[in-house]
Amino acid sequence: MSDAESPDDDFEPVQVFGDETEMDLRPGSDDCYKCSTCDTNCPVAEVEDEFPGPKFQGPEQWRLKRKGDHDIDDSVMKCSNCMRCDGACPSNVPLSQMHNTARGEYVDEQMDKLSVEYLRNRMLSNYRLLASLGSKVPRLANFVMGLGVTSWLGEKVMGIPSEREMPEFATQTFREWWSERGGNATSKERAREARAERGGSQVSNPDKRVAYFHGCYANYNTPEVGKAMVRVFESFGYEVMVPPQRCSGTPMFANGMLDDARRAAETNVEEFVAAIGDGADVVASCTSCSMSLRQEYPELFDLHGIEDLSNNTYEALEYLRIHEDLEGELADTEVDFPDVAYHAPCHARNQGLEGQAVEVTESIDGVEAHDVGDSCSGISGTYGWKEEHYDTSMKIGEEMFEHMEAADADTGMTECPTCAMQMEHGTGYEIKHPLELLETALVEE
C-alpha cells in the first residue's frame, strides 16, 4: 500500500456551503450559569485582550442571536481552539462546538475568500496536501523551506512568521514504511508471534486488532512515532491495521474550514467504521486526532456511523492502560534514558489524559518524567503559524518554556506534534513521543 491509495483531496479555492440546515446552538446556552471558569482557563484571553474570552464567544454570543443575525464578531478568529474551556466548564456548555460553528459561519459569510489571510489559513489547514507534495521530494522541499528567502517570502506574502522553522519532511513516510514492511499481513503475523510468546493465558481476546489513525504528522514528518506505535502494540499481541485516511480535521476546525473538514471526515468515518466492523478499535497517537474523532466529529457532522467511530476511538497509551496491565509490564523494564520534561497537550487534557504519560513512563526504571505544569504550549496547531498570532503564541508558551528550562532535563516529551514543535522552538530541546519511550522499554530490537 502506498500513498497513492489514500483518496485524493479535492482542494477547491472557493467553497460552497451545502443545503444543510444551519446549526442552532442557542440551547447550549441553557447550561451556562456565568461562572466564567472558561474565561480563567483561556490562554489567549490572558495575554490578548482583543479576545473577549470563551464565555462571550460561546454561550453569550449564541444566546444573543436571532435568526438572520450573521454578524459573528471577528474576534472568534483569535481563538486558538485549544478547547481548554470545554474541560473547564463545570456545567457542560458545548463551548468549542459553539466556537467551531461560529468560526465556520464567520469564515463562510464574512471572510474575504480572496484575502491572503483566507488563502493562508486554507493552506495551513490543508497541511496534508502540502506535506504530500513535499514528501514526494523531501530533500528538495526541506532545502527550499530552510532558505532565508523562503521564510521572508512566507512572512511577507503569506503571513507566516519567519521565526518559525518549517517542519522537516521524512525521507520515507510512515505509510511507505508500512507497505514496504508488508502491511496488515505482516502485522497479523507479528501479533500472533507475540501472543504465542506471551502464552495464551495473557491473551484475553484472540482477535486483538486495532486500526491506527496516524494522522498527517506521524506519516510525513515523524514516522518514528508511527513505527513505535506499531511495534509496541504488536508486542502486546495486537494486529495493527492502517486504513486509508485523510486529515482528522483539527486544523480545519481551527480555521473555520468546515467544508474541508467534512470532506475529510466522510472518508475517515467510512474507512474506520469498516475497520470497526472487522473487529478493530481505533487508536491514534496524536491527541488532537483522537480528540477530533471522539468529540468534534459527532458535534459538527451528521454522518452515518460517526457515533460508532467516536465511541470506539482511543488514544494509544489510554488504550493499553485500559486493556493491558501496562504499568505492570513496564515495572520490570529498565532503560537508560535522559530525564524528560513532559507537557500535557490541551487536547490530551480535554480527554482526561493529562496525567497518564507521566504515570506510565515513570513505571520504567530509569525514566524520570517532570510534568512542566498545566499551561498551554501556545501553538495550538496552525495558530502559532500565523504572523498575527505569533507573539501571542509565544507569550502563552512562556510559562511552559520556563518550566521546561527549570526542569532537570534536556529532552521533552509530549503526544502532540505541534506542541512538540513549539517546545523545540522555545527551548531547543529534542522532543519525544511517549510511545517512543515505551518502544525502547518494551520492544527488543
Partner 1 sequence: MAIRDDVLVVGGGLAGVAAALAASEHADVRLISHKQSTLRHASGLVDVLGYPPEGGEDADPIAEPFDALADLPEGHPYERVGADAVREGLALFDDAVGDTYVGSHTDRNALVPTHGGTVKPTARYPKSAAAGLASDGRDALLVGFAALTDFDAPLAADHLAAAGVPFEARGATVRFPGEFRDDAKVTRYAHALDRNEDLNGVPARTALAEAVKPHLDGEERVGFPAVLGDDDPCGVRASLAEKLDADVFEVPMGPPSLPGLRLEDRLYAALAEAGVHAETGNPAVEVEAEDGRIRAVVVDRTGRPVPYHADQFVLATGGLVGKGIDSDREAVREPIFDCHVPHPSDRYDWFDADAFGDHPFARFGVDVDSDLRPRAADGTAEYGNLRAAGGVLGGYDFAAEKSGGGVSLATGYAAGTAAGRAAGGETSDAAIPGDTT
Partner 2 sequence: MTHTTEVLVIGGGSTGTGIARDLAMRGVDVTLVEQGNLTHGTTGRMHGLLHSGGRYAVSDQASATECIEENRVLRDIASHCVEETGGLFVQRPEDSDEYFREKLEGCRECGIPAEELTAAEAREVEPYLAGDVKRAIKVPDGAIDPFRLCVANAVSAENHGARIETHAEVVDLLGDEDDVTGVKVRHESGPGKREHATPGTTEEMHADYVVNATGAWAGQIGDMAGVDVEVRPSKGVMVVMNCRQVDTVVNRCRPKGDADIVVPHETTAILGTTDEEVEDPAEYPEEGWEVDLMIDTLSELVPILEEARTVRSFWGVRPLYEPPDVGSEDPTDITRDYFLLDHEERDDLRGLTSIVGGKFTTYRMMAEEISDHVCEQLGVRGECRTADEPLPGSEHPGNLDAAMDRFGLRSPVARRSTQRLGSRTEEVLASADPNPVVCDCEAVTRAEVQDAIASAGTDLNAVRIRTRASMGNCQGGFCCHRMAAELHPEYDEPTAREALDELFQERWKGEVHALWGEQLSQAALNYALHATTMNRDRDPARTGGVDYAAFDDGPGAPDAAGEGRGVATDGGDHGD
Site residues for partner 1 per CB under 8 A: 33-37, 39-42, 45-50, 52-53, 56, 87-92, 294-295, 307, 310-314, 318, 321-328, 349-356, 359, 371, 398-399
Shortest distance (Å) from residue 94 CB to partner 2: 13
Shortest distance (Å) from residue 85 CB to partner 1: 10
| 34 forms part of the interface with partner 2 (CB under 8 A) | yes
Shortest distance (Å) from residue 326 CB to partner 1: 6
Residue 336: how many CA atoms within 13 Å on its side-chain side? 0
| 69 forms part of the interface with partner 2 (CB under 8 A) | yes
| 65 forms part of the interface with partner 2 (CB under 8 A) | yes
Stretch that binds partner 2, among 18-26, 307-315, 348-356, 360-368 (CB under 8 A): 18-26
Taking Cα atoms as reference points, which of 206, 203, 202, 226 lies closest to residue 214? 226
Among partner 2, partner 1, none, what does residue 30 contact (CB within 5–8 Å per kind)? partner 2
* Length of the chain counted residue by residue: 445
| 184 forms part of the interface with partner 2 (CB under 8 A) | no
Shortest distance (Å) from residue 323 CB to partner 1: 8
By CB under 8 A, name the one of 52, 134, 167, 381 that touches partner 2: 52
| 66 forms part of the interface with partner 2 (CB under 8 A) | yes
By CB under 8 A, name the one of 15, 26, 184, 411 that touches partner 2: 26
| Separation CA 84–CA 367 (nearest Å) | 29
Shortest distance (Å) from residue 57 CB to partner 1: 11
**Phi-psi map region of 420: left, alpha, beta (phi>0 left; psi -120 to 50 alpha):** alpha
| Residue 327, all three cell numbers | 504499568
Stretch that binds partner 2, among 53-61, 214-222, 241-249, 398-406 (CB under 8 A): 53-61
Instruction: Give pairs for 164-167: CB < 8 Å, separation 24+.
Output: 164/384, 164/385, 164/390, 164/425, 165/425, 166/142, 167/217, 167/221, 167/417, 167/421
| Number of residues lying near partner 2 (CB under 8 A) | 30
| Separation CA 215–CA 436 (nearest Å) | 17
Among partner 1, partner 2, none, what does residue 66 contact (CB within 5–8 Å per kind)? partner 2
Give Cβ neighbours of residue 406 (< 8 Å, ≥ 6 apart): none
Residue 431: how many CA atoms within 13 Å on its side-chain side? 21
Shortest distance (Å) from residue 416 CB to partner 2: 27
By CB under 8 A, name the one of 46, 48, 58, 61 that touches partner 2: 61
Please report which helix (H) or strand (E) contains residue 422, including its range: helix 417-427
Closest to partner 1 by CB, 93 vs 264, is 93
Q: Give how far the C-alpha of residue 213 lies from the chain's centroid of Cα atoms, to the nearest Å.
A: 11
| 323 forms part of the interface with partner 2 (CB under 8 A) | no
Give Cβ neighbours of residue 127 (< 8 Å, ≥ 6 apart): 216, 247, 251, 382
Please name every residue paired with 365 in a beta bridge, in sequence order, or none if there are none: 334
Q: Which residues bind partner 2 (CB under 8 A)?
A: 21, 24, 26-27, 29-35, 52, 55-56, 60-69, 71-75, 91
